[in-house]
Amino acid sequence: MITEFKIFEKNSFPYSLIPIKEFLCDFIIDKFDWWLNRKGPANYKDEFTLWMDDVNPDIKKNEDFPLDILNLTLLIVRNKNGSNIVPATVENFVSSRNRDYPYNSFLYRGKIHLGIELKIVTGYDVIHVEMLKEQIETAVSHELTHAYQYYKRSKKGLDLKLNYINPIFNNTLMDMAKYFPKCYTLENLLFAYYPYMSKSESDARISEFTAKRIKNKSDVVTTQKDDLKIINTNFEDLYFDIVGEFDSYYPHIDDLDIIPKRFINELKECYKHFRLPFPKWAYKYDRDFKGFLKLIYDDLQKKHKKYSKKANKVFYMSKINDNLELNEGIG
C-alpha cells in the first residue's frame, strides 16, 4: 500500500472502521443471499447483537474506535413500486434485546455500544441483486462514518445535544418536498442539496466512494443523473419550472413567500421541542421564495465543486489501493 494513500485515506474512511465494515457487509450480504434463496421470499426482520470479541478482539482494543457491541436491526422489504434501495440509520444502543443491560448506552466504560438499522428494499418482480449489494456497502460506510464522528465529538467533551442541530435543520428542509409532492423540481433540488447541508453529511457521503463493490462513480447516489441535472441547470430556468409546477398543482397558494416563512417557523418549533438554541446561521433562509431558492442553489453549486474534487480523489485512490491489494494477493 502506498504511503500517500495511507495519509489520504485517514481523511476519507478511518482504518479503525475497515475491519468493522468488512465484517458487517459480509454478515448482511450473507443474510440477503439466504433470503434470496428462500422458497417464496417474504418481508423479513431480525435483530442481531454482535459482540466484537467474537468477531475480532482487536477491534475492541483499537483506541481510535473501540467498538464492543453492535446491535444490528435488519429488514428486507418487497416493494410493489419496483424500488431497489438500501436506506440505513445509526442510532444509540437501544433495543428490545438489550433494554435490561446496565450498559444500554453509546459509551460504557470507554467502549462503544452501537446500533444500526438497515433496510433492504427490493422490487417485487425484479430484484437488482448486485446493485443492492453495492448499496449495502455504501450504506454501512456512510453510517459508520457518522458513528465515528459522533464518538470523536464525545471524546472531546462536546455537548452531544448540539449534534442534533444540523440533522433537525436537514430533515425540516427536506419536509418541504413532502408538503408539495407534485412539485418534482423542488423535490429534486432539495434532494440534490441534502449531502451538502452539513459537513458531517458530506463526509459520510464521501466515505461511500471507498466501497470496494463500487465500480463506477455513477453508482453512488450523489453522482446520479437527477442530481447532476439540477446542478447543471441555470437558476432562472429552475425557478421558472418550480413556479410553473406550483401554478399547475397548487394554484391556491397565491403568495409563495409564505413557504420559507413556514420553514423558519417549523424549524423554530423543532429546536424548541428538543430544547436547543436556534442557530444564528439559519436566519439567512428567512427571505422571499426566490431568494430562498437562490440561496440553496448557490450553496449547492459552491459545495458540489469542492465535494466532486474530493470524491474523485477518494474514488480513484481507493481503486488504486484495491488493485495493489489484488496484485499482492496474486503474488
For the record, the C-alpha cell of 126 comes out as 425484479
Whole-number pLDDT of residue 6: 38
CB proximity list for 315: less than 8 A, separation 6 or greater: 209, 210, 214, 217
Name the strand (E) or helix (H) holding 264. Answer: helix 258-273
Distance CA 146, CA 134 (A): 19
Whole-number pLDDT of residue 180: 94
Whole-number pLDDT of residue 215: 64
Per-residue pLDDT of the chain (331 residues; tens, 9 = 90+): 333 333 334 446 888 999 999 999 999 999 999 999 987 778 999 999 999 999 998 998 999 999 999 999 999 999 887 677 888 777 654 444 444 444 446 777 788 888 899 999 998 888 889 989 988 998 999 999 989 988 888 887 766 666 778 889 999 999 988 899 999 999 999 999 988 888 888 888 888 877 766 666 655 655 555 678 888 999 999 999 999 999 999 999 999 999 999 999 999 999 999 888 999 999 999 999 999 999 999 999 998 888 877 777 777 776 655 554 544 444 4
Instruction: Give the residue ranges of DSSP H helices in 117-257.
Output: 129-155, 165-179, 184-193, 199-207, 225-231, 235-249
Domain boundaries, the chain: 1-158, 159-331
DSSP 143: H
Whole-number pLDDT of residue 261: 95
